[in-house]
């Protein structure tokens, strides 16, 4: 989660680019309608992230695992975990 979405998206595209060359990830990226791994990353404010979490469950997921990255600031990370904790209730 971040308030600097454009910067974080650019960072994600750059730092997650190694996934773009792995065949199994290429398939998952393509199934998500994207061409690059950084496009699949959930990046946005609280409302955007919460909507993406709901989308997974609405699609039938019974368990969703989130991975924290260091793409954003420590404050961004705290905001993310706080929101995910609230959504888990």
pLDDT in tens, 53-72: 999 999 999 998 888 788 88
pLDDT of 44 above 80: yes
So what's the pLDDT on residue 70? 87
Q: How confident is the model at residue 6, as a pLDDT?
A: 95
**What does pTM read for this prediction?**
0.81
Q: Let me know: does 8 contact 75? Beta carbons within 8 Å.
A: no
Sign of CA dihedral 52, 73, 89, 63: positive
The alpha-helical segments, DSSP class H, found in the chain are 5-15, 23-31, 37-40, 46-58, 74-88
Largest CA distance in the chain: 37
SS3 at position 71: coil
Q: What is the mean pLDDT of residues 26-34?
A: 95
- Residue identified by tokens 């791994």 is 37
Average pLDDT over residues 34-56: 94
């Amino acid at each position: 989660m971040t308030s600097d979405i454009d910067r974080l998206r650019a960072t994600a595209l750059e730092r997650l680019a190694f996934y773009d060359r792995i065949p199994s990830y290429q398939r998952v990226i393509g199934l998500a309608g994207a061409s690059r791994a950084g496009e699949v990353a959930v990046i946005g404010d609280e409302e955007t992230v919460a909507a993406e979490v709901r989308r997974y469950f609405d699609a039938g997921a019974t368990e969703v695992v989130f991975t924290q990255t260091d793409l954003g600031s420590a404050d961004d990370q705290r905001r993310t975990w706080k929101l995910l904790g609230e959504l888990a209730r």
